[in-house]
Structure 1
Amino acid sequence: MKFDNILVAKNNNIAQVTINRPSKLNALNSAIIHELSEAFVALEDDEDIKVIVLTGSGDKAFVAGADISEFAHFSVDEGGTLARKGQEMLFNLIENLSTPVIAAINGFALGGGLELAMACHFRIASDNAKMGLPEVSLGVIPGYGGTQRLPQLVGKGKAMEMIMTATMIPATEAFSCGLVNHVTTPEELLPLAEKIAGKIMRNSSVAISAAIRAVNANFEDGTNGFDVEIEEFGECFGTNDFKEGTTAFLEKRKPNFPGK
């Protein structure tokens, strides 16, 4: 896959997707959103890829926000369409991907950048990272799921404070409030992502995909997450991975999951 604004590298069943617009601190624009969407759809269909790591190029920014010049003169209708298409095309796509996606936040993750990271299944950050949703300082609110996913991760009160004050928080505070799972040095960020990916890949990819669907169901309006869990649990019994996992356990050996 060749793109103008992102890089995709594959190694040992891990795909690293890098937003590559360092001169603009990797700011999101429509071209990047389209390219990321295309890349994630292709990687989801690649049976060799078991984990995806999303990061930004350089050492300053994961994604420092959206490219304001693209929408500064939009009308009400155009603004609504921008948010709806972006959520459907990329942010919701990532959240519901059956392949695990880890955000490796290597610097500023602001506005759409933090929203992109929050759409991933979980996040790790370098100790120089700063995160925030500064949209209200521009007279607008987060439009790519920020008002929904941030409260899910840090709680309503903390999310309200971050959104209302447009404040950036450091990686240590992001860790303490549950926004990120791990904080490490910039040099160790991608190795840590690969280490976690390695732990994930030792397990059943079929079961992991089912777990993603079950966890996400709890946050869907009109969906009973417990019912989805029961259904997904039952479906696992019909998979080759379940047969291999239970057989390996009884035979006291490591499983070799076929991914089916």
Structure 2
Amino acid sequence: MSEPRVTYEKTGDVAHVRFDNPGAYNALTGAMWLQLRDIAGRIAEDPSVRVAVFRGVGGKAFVSGTDISGFATFTGGADGVAYERSGDDCMRALDAIPVTTIAVIDGWAVGGGLNIAAACDFRIATPDARFGSPIGRTLGNCLSPLSLARIGGRSASRPPGAWSCSAKSSARRICSPPASCCASSSRRRSMPSSNPCAAAPPRTPR
């Protein structure tokens, strides 16, 4: 199995970004977050790129959040604050991409994956795609103000138990696999309890 990574490839004027950690449902390690930040900066600085497409590898998940095994090294609250600050820095780099961004979602887009999907201008999903932010029911941490604003801030208005949302309520387009924009999959998916999400408005391309 290859090392978890975020890969970048450009075909013509299209940038392809892939989250490659399928053994962990494409959970992002600390190194992967930094790779995403650097790739976003690379796309932003390349005037030949007209659109950027983000997708997960393996057909089971877009991104299932952060690989929390790295949290075992935390020794105090300052480590958690530094983690949240670093995550915001990475997401700012994604927000700053001046061209159209598209998230192609097959499977889970959870936690950080929801944040990344919401940062994109368009979300194209398979019917089995699931979106959520279950951090409050796992680690007890909370979304940063920037992340809350990005995904819509709807959780406070939802009744108890209403933790997840489907592709139908979260994507700009739904396509049944196999399709040219989505990875093939015939496996039905489920996900842990999670918070609802909202679509992000498109930005103005350069």
TM-score (ref. length: structure 2): 0.78
Contact kept? 1:136, 1:163, Cα under 8 Å:
no
Q: What do residues 102-152 of structure 1 show as CA deviations (whole Å, max 9, x unaligned)?
A: 111121011111111112223221111011010111122234843222226
How many residues are treated as equivalent by the alignment? 183
Q: What do residues 84-106 of structure 1 show as CA deviations (whole Å, max 9, x unaligned)?
A: 11111x21111122122111112
Report the 3-state secondary structure (helix = DSSP H, G, I; strand = E; otherwise coil) of the residue aligned with 1:188.
Answer: coil
Higher helix share: 1
Report the 3-state secondary structure (helix = DSSP H, G, I; strand = E; otherwise coil) of the residue aligned with 1:16.
Answer: strand
Higher strand share: 2
**CA–CA distance in 2 between the matches of 1:123 and 1:163?**
26
Residue type of the partner of 1:181?
A: R
1:185-200 equivalences under 5 Å are 185-188=176-179, 190=181
**CA–CA distance in 2 between the matches of 1:77 and 1:131?**
29
Contact kept? 1:134, 1:166, Cα under 8 Å:
no
1:1-260 equivalences under 5 Å are 5-72=5-72, 74=74, 75-88=76-89, 90-138=90-138, 139-143=140-144, 145-151=146-152, 156=154, 159-160=155-156, 165=161, 167-172=163-168, 174=169, 179-188=170-179, 190=181, 212=203
Q: Which runs of 5+ in 2 are unaligned?
A: 183-201
Q: Which runs of 5+ in 1 are unaligned?
A: 192-210, 215-258
State the identity %: 28
Q: What do residues 34-72 of structure 1 show as CA deviations (whole Å, max 9, x unaligned)?
A: 111111111222222110001100110000111111125
TM-score (ref. length: structure 1): 0.63
Give the superposed CA RMSD: 2.6
RCO comparison, higher one (Cα < 8 Å, 6+):
2
Give the greater-gyration-radius structure (CA). Answer: 1
